[in-house]
Every structure is written in C-alpha cells, then in structure tokens.
Chains A and B, each alone.
Chain A
C-alpha cells in the first residue's frame, strides 16, 4: 500500500468543471467526475473529440484553473495553484515574442530565484539538449514552427519538473517535423536524460498516442467522462508496422467511433436508451 502511494505522482479525484457563459446559469458541464492517476515513469495520453474538455483537464492539473468540484493532489498534497514541479508545453507555443530564445528559457529559472550564472548555464544546456544550439539570441518571430516548439520544450524542461503536461504539442507542426520532434523527445525520455518522472499529454492523433504512451485514457464528450482506459504495453519507440501496433490503433479507433455512435443515438431517440452499463 505504502509502495503504491509513493509511486503515485498525481491523483485527479472526481473532478467536475463547468463554465458559466455570461452572467446567467451555472453553464453546461464540461468535465463530469473525472478521476485518474499518474504514476512514476509513465507517459499517459488523453484522447477525445474536440471540445470534450482535454485542455480544461490539463489546466486544472497544472493549477491554472480551479475545478468546480473534486480535487487534484500532487504527491498527496492538494493542488491550489501553479506548482513549481509541474511544467506545461502549450499547443500555441506561448513564447514571449519580446524575449530571445535564451531569455524565454531562462524566465522560469529567474522566477525561481536561481542565480544569473547558474540559470544561464542551465538554459544553455537545455537549449543544447533540445537541439537549438546557435539560436540562443534569436527571437521567436525568426524561428520556424518546429523550432518554436523546441523552445517551448526547453522552457518546460529547464525548470526540472516532475511532471510534464503537453497540450497537443505536435499538432501545429507538419508531419515530418512532428515526427522528428516526437522521436527526439522519446529518445531523451528513454535514455533518461530528462529529470521528468511522468508525462501527461493531450493528442488527437491515435498513432501518436500509441507510439508514445504507456497508457491511453479516452474521454467521451458532453459531458467529458472517462470512457475507456487502455494499457499500451508496446516498447518505446514503437514500430508502426508491428501488427500489434496496428491492432491497437484500430481498437482505439473503434472505441472512439463506437462511443460517438451511441452518443448520437442517445441524442436522437431520447426514449431508446440502450441498456448498456
């Protein structure tokens, strides 16, 4: 029992979220009693249709938003605001356009009151690690999308978080760039060159999820509930041609579309609730 406690990094317990639109009514439910755990040394993927609340869940985990009900605990301590041990990579990169690559990466260290010399050293190391050597003094405007996202990674890695949250980190990139960046990140992870203990990532790409994750959580939409949880159990980095890989992708695809079908029927024929648990 104690062992399990020690291995659990993050626990999301019955989290609900609803946004009030305007001043009236509490608004519709976006997340409905979502519970999940993040253990050490695993990558967990969040899949689900657009608008099902993946980003909302990630924000809550990061302490950027407060759930309407339920709670999030990091190593047994309730999360009430942004934590130093949880870093986030944004889909839109979210780089500060007026700061150079180096300054962007250093920002989090400065906020943690790391000395100037030390933060310079660590930032340069992170930039080097992520393969942006030579671009330290460039501004985000001058970089390509793939390079910007690398800065986003470096900025998150340099603060040496326990948990890395990623919100569709590759979806703004073209297929090839995404593939390269994904492989680079996986290499760092497998070789243990990052101090990160666990990654929670949102994606729309089933193959990407199977390729990278140890566990995949599928959210249903309206309201967002956990529809299925799938253990991947394939080695990293995975092989797309492996029959087991294809089979898993097909299975997840089927699960997601099936959910959609039932949701559709439920909506269309309110009287005909299918007798599924």
Chain B
C-alpha cells in the first residue's frame, strides 16, 4: 500500500463502507437477539447474561483470534480480513444496541399492550405497531453512540499483524499503519484530516438528521431539551420532490408492518411454561448445563495456556491488569474532576450548550487512535515517561462521553428546582453537593461507564505504540496483549485477554453496577 494522497478519499470510502456493513449486521442482530430474549424466558436466561459479559469484555484483545478464524474461513482471499474487520466493529456496536432494545421491549407499558391485545393485533403487527416504535428512541440513540464508538475500532482493525500474518485492508487505518512504519508525519496529518472530513460528513449527513428525527419519539432521554438542527433534514422536508421519493420506503415499511403474517404463529407467552415444579426442574437442568459449559471453557483455556505458561505468568498478568486498572480509574477520575464542572457550567447556559453539545459528540466520534502517533513523537522528542504520558491517550477519545452526558444532564435540570435553590440562597459547595451533583449523577454514570469501557479498549492500543522502529511502551495488560499479538504468542494472548476480561467484568459488577443502581433508585427525578 502506497501513501498516495489521491487515494485517501477512496480509502476513506472503504473505511466508511466497513462501518455501515457492521451497522447493518448489528441492526439485524439487535432485532432478532433482543426480541428472542424478550419473548422467551428460557432464551432470556442465557442470552442476557451472555450479553452482559460481552458488553464489558475489551473486544480489541480478541482481534487476533477473529482474524485467524476468518482468514481460515476464506483462505487466500481478502474477504476473510474484511469479515474480521467488520466483525470487530460489529462487536463494538451490537451488544449495547441489543441490550437497549431488549430493555425497551420489556418495559412496554401494560396499558398499551392491553390495547394491542384488545384490537387483536397479530404478533407481527404488534411488533411493528407497538413494540418497535416504543423502543425506537432508545435504539436510535444507542445506534448513534455505537456508530461513534465504531470509528475507533475500524481504524484499529484494518491493519493487523498476528505473528507472521500481516493484513492491511485498504482504508484509513492501514494508511496510518504504513505512515507509522515510514515515520511519515505528513501522511499522519493527512489521515487526521481525512478522518476529520469523514466524521464531519457522517455527522452532518447521518447523525444530525437522525438526532432531529429521533426527537419525535423522545419521551425522556439524555440530550433532551435542545432543539437540534439539521440542514440536511430541512432540505428533505422542504423539497417536495425529495420528500415524495423518500416517502416511498416509508410507505413500504408501513405496509409490511400492517401484514398479519399469522403463519409466524403465536409466540409462547412468557408465563406459559407449564407447572411451577416443572419450571423449577427445568431451571436447575438449565443452570447445571450452563455451569458445565463455563467450567468446560475454563478447563479448555487452562489446558491450552498451561502447556506453555506457569503460575508466574498468571501472577504477572494479574499485576499488569491491576496497573492498567489503576490507570483507567485514575484517568477517568481526572477527566471527571476536569470536565464535570466545565460541563455543568456549559449545560446551565442553554445558548452555549446548544453549540457545545454537537462539538462534544463530534469529538467522541473522532477515533483517537489516529492522533496517537503525534503523541508518541512528543513523548520521544522530550523523552517523557511513557508510564505517565501514554496514560493520557487512554481517555483522549473517551472523555467526551462524560462531557456530553453531563451537559445533557445539566441542561435537563428542572427549572423549578433551579429556582427553588436560588430562592433559598443555596450557593457554593452546598449547591454542588445537594443540588447539581445529585441532579446530573445519573447522566454522569452513563457517560463515565461508556468512557470506562472505551478506555479499557483504548489501553490495548495505547500502552504499546510504535513510530517506525521506535517503540514506546507503558507497563500494563494492554501492552502485554499487544506484544503477544505482534509475536503471535497465542498462549499469552489467551491468558492476557482472559485475565483482563475477568477484571473488567468484576470491576463493572462491583463498581459501576452499584453506582447505576444507586442513581436509578435515589436520584431519578420523579
């Protein structure tokens, strides 16, 4: 692959196509997986915990496996590599989309369900007339967030070398990899510029119109209260010709949604699972089978890893994971201290928030790994300590999730509460502690959780970065996995990824989950 600037738009297009292929796959996955989980209790018991685990696992660590798997599936063709890249993006998007959709389906208001039953809607009609529209705002919002997160993965997954196998798919990510190999700073800047243009186009042509469109469905979601604007949507709404063309797919979808399709059969209702005793027995069988499966996979992993590695390796990976965890925690904390006051300040000023919000969303979509080389050059030039300075790259791309969620929270803060606190003369520290921080906390947790998940992934590419032959590396599990991947050392990759995953899952369970629960229980506005 040559660094020919005329090719850049083409590479950008290829990268974007990969994004959309993955998005299509994610949507199909969401509609089937989440619907199945919501309709069948039995399926729910396995699908939802699985989703929960998948959601918190750092996907980039698995890249080496998926690449070898897909390359093996299509030997001698780039199709395997394409599939691997698309799969990587898919895994970064699908889980939280499915989760959101599942949750919406489970919370369809009872009275609306009764109306649907009263009108005798078939399951297919009920899905399109009631359940899908109800779940729409959450799905649209999560799809947009997933798309934003996806740019990071598309860049990371286009150029991969596992041991001797090197894959470079035509795209911005590969361009960047080549530029790094050649120490070509202007090519890096070219990639940054190309990415800026792509994200800007994506933002204006797809993201903004979607945001405006989804306002129609919004009941109460973050980002509310803004009158979002989109010139693209305005064109479509104003130009009658365009509107007519665009209404055709709408009409088709409407017609499909009204078909009865009774042959699809009545879904078993959630309650109809035989007697109580039978259900308990089935549950036991089910859980035993699940436990056996989990034990078996641990056995497999253990067996595979223990042929080459010892307990000392396990201790090493655990230590490194703790170091990375401290890094993630410290940086999220730093980003919080820095951004929360600023975001609150912005959020309470509607005119300012309206301008800052799209900017923060734009920044969140921009793949931070494109600017990593620039940071590396800086670190090399001033011989800075990688253990400290590489850490900043971890939150470089993810801090924006905190920013725009807190802005959304502050601007959604109810006006009467604002006035009440003013009337009582609440100011200073008491105001932060008793008024605004509890008010934005649910929004903050959402943002920080997303940022934390993104940061774990970023650690895998941020702790071990190259510039030509120069390597800058920080201590941590990310660097461990990255080096093992480069060397094609499978036992180490498996061990590293497994330990890291366990830590992340535990961290989410023991820290974010309780915080989330607390925010839901105590801090929700009535």
Residue positions of A touching B, CB distance < 8 A? 59, 62, 64, 82, 84, 86-88, 90, 92-99, 103, 107-108, 110-112, 139-141, 155, 159
Contact with A along B490-526 (1 / 0, CB 8 A): 0000000000000000000000000000000011111
Q: How far is the CB of A233 from chain B (nearest CB, A)?
A: 31
Top 8 nearest A-B pairs (CB, nearest first) are: A108-B424, A94-B416, A94-B420, A98-B438, A111-B426, A88-B423, A111-B425, A92-B416
- The verdict on A155 contacting B424 (CB below 8 Å), with A94-B417, A97-B526, A103-B434 known, is yes
- The verdict on A82 contacting B526 (CB below 8 Å), with A88-B420, A96-B435 known, is no
Tell whether B419 is near chain A: CB-to-CB under 8 Å.
yes
In the bound complex, do residue B420 and residue A90 qualify as a contact, i.e. CB atoms below 8 Å apart?
A: yes
Pairs across A and B, CB under 8 Å, 24 listed: A64-B423, A86-B423, A88-B420, A90-B416, A90-B419, A90-B420, A93-B416, A94-B414, A94-B419, A94-B420, A95-B420, A96-B417, A96-B438, A97-B526, A98-B523, A99-B434, A103-B434, A107-B426, A108-B424, A108-B425, A110-B430, A111-B425, A140-B526, A155-B424
Residue of B nearest to A86 (CB): B423
- Residues of A within 8 Å of B425, CB to CB, are 82, 84, 108, 111-112
User: How many A-B Cβ pairs are below 8 Å?
Assistant: 65
Distance between Cα atoms of A64 and B523 in the complex (Å): 25
Q: How far is the CB of A122 from chain B (nearest CB, A)?
A: 14
Residue of A nearest to B416 (CB): A94
Tell whether B422 is near chain A: CB-to-CB under 8 Å.
yes
Tell whether B427 is near chain A: CB-to-CB under 8 Å.
yes
Distance between Cα atoms of A59 and B415 in the complex (Å): 12
Residue of A nearest to B423 (CB): A88
Partner of A87 from the list B414, B421, B423, B439 (CB cut-off 8 Å) is B423
- Residues of A within 8 Å of B435, CB to CB, are 96
In the bound complex, do residue A111 and residue B430 qualify as a contact, i.e. CB atoms below 8 Å apart?
A: yes
- Residues of B within 8 Å of A92, CB to CB, are 416
Contact with A along B400-428 (1 / 0, CB 8 A): 00000000000000101101111111110
In addition to A96-B420, A96-B434, A97-B523, 4 A-B residue pairs with Cβ atoms within 8 Å of each other are: A62-B419, A84-B425, A90-B420, A98-B523
Distance between Cα atoms of A155 and B434 in the complex (Å): 15
In the bound complex, do residue A82 and residue B434 qualify as a contact, i.e. CB atoms below 8 Å apart?
A: no
- Residues of A within 8 Å of B417, CB to CB, are 94, 96
Residue of B nearest to A113 (CB): B430
Residue of A nearest to B351 (CB): A23
Residue of B nearest to A91 (CB): B416
- The verdict on A82 contacting B524 (CB below 8 Å), with A96-B438, A98-B438 known, is no
Q: How far is the CB of B351 from chain A (nearest CB, A)?
A: 9
In the bound complex, do residue B424 and residue A141 qualify as a contact, i.e. CB atoms below 8 Å apart?
A: no
Distance between Cα atoms of A164 and B426 in the complex (Å): 18
- Residues of B within 8 Å of A84, CB to CB, are 425
- Residues of B within 8 Å of A107, CB to CB, are 421, 424, 426, 430, 434
Distance between Cα atoms of A98 and B522 in the complex (Å): 6
- Residues of B within 8 Å of A97, CB to CB, are 523-526
- Residues of A within 8 Å of B421, CB to CB, are 107
Distance between Cα atoms of A97 and B425 in the complex (Å): 18
- Residues of A within 8 Å of B524, CB to CB, are 97
- Residues of B within 8 Å of A139, CB to CB, are 522
Residue of B nearest to A64 (CB): B419
Distance between Cα atoms of A182 and B417 in the complex (Å): 24
Distance between Cα atoms of A64 and B425 in the complex (Å): 11
- Residues of B within 8 Å of A155, CB to CB, are 424
- The verdict on A159 contacting B424 (CB below 8 Å), with A96-B435, A99-B434 known, is yes
Distance between Cα atoms of A30 and B373 in the complex (Å): 58
Distance between Cα atoms of A139 and B525 in the complex (Å): 12
Partner of A111 from the list B414, B424, B522, B525 (CB cut-off 8 Å) is B424
- Residues of A within 8 Å of B416, CB to CB, are 90, 92-94
- Residues of A within 8 Å of B414, CB to CB, are 94
- Residues of B within 8 Å of A64, CB to CB, are 419, 422-423
In the bound complex, do residue B438 and residue A59 qualify as a contact, i.e. CB atoms below 8 Å apart?
A: no
Q: How far is the CB of B268 from chain A (nearest CB, A)?
A: 36
Residue of B nearest to A87 (CB): B423
Indicate the member of B414, B425, B427, B430 with the most A CB atoms within 10 Å: B425
Indicate the member of B416, B522, B524 with the most A CB atoms within 10 Å: B416
Q: How far is the CB of A208 from chain B (nearest CB, A)?
A: 21
- Residues of B within 8 Å of A88, CB to CB, are 419-420, 423
Q: How far is the CB of B428 from chain A (nearest CB, A)?
A: 9
In the bound complex, do residue A82 and residue B423 qualify as a contact, i.e. CB atoms below 8 Å apart?
A: yes
- Residues of A within 8 Å of B426, CB to CB, are 107-108, 110-111
Distance between Cα atoms of A94 and B421 in the complex (Å): 9
Q: How far is the CB of A89 from chain B (nearest CB, A)?
A: 10
In the bound complex, do residue A111 and residue B423 qualify as a contact, i.e. CB atoms below 8 Å apart?
A: no
Distance between Cα atoms of A59 and B423 in the complex (Å): 10
Q: How far is the CB of A28 from chain B (nearest CB, A)?
A: 20
Q: How far is the CB of A238 from chain B (nearest CB, A)?
A: 29
Contact with A along B472-497 (1 / 0, CB 8 A): 00000000000000000000000000
- Residues of A within 8 Å of B420, CB to CB, are 88, 90, 94-96
Distance between Cα atoms of A29 and B1 in the complex (Å): 67
Distance between Cα atoms of A99 and B435 in the complex (Å): 9
Distance between Cα atoms of A252 and B414 in the complex (Å): 35
Q: How far is the CB of A201 from chain B (nearest CB, A)?
A: 15
Residue of B nearest to A65 (CB): B419
- Residues of B within 8 Å of A112, CB to CB, are 425
Residue of A nearest to B417 (CB): A94
Q: How far is the CB of B292 from chain A (nearest CB, A)?
A: 44
Residue of A nearest to B428 (CB): A111
Q: How far is the CB of B511 from chain A (nearest CB, A)?
A: 20
Distance between Cα atoms of A79 and B523 in the complex (Å): 34
Q: How far is the CB of A167 from chain B (nearest CB, A)?
A: 10
Distance between Cα atoms of A62 and B420 in the complex (Å): 10
- Residues of B within 8 Å of A96, CB to CB, are 417, 420, 434-435, 438
Partner of A62 from the list B423, B439, B522 (CB cut-off 8 Å) is B423
B416-474, CB < 8 A from A: 416-417, 419-427, 430, 434-435, 438-439
- Residues of A within 8 Å of B439, CB to CB, are 98
Indicate the member of B414, B424, B523, B525 with the most A CB atoms within 10 Å: B424
Q: How far is the CB of B468 from chain A (nearest CB, A)?
A: 52
- Residues of A within 8 Å of B422, CB to CB, are 64, 82
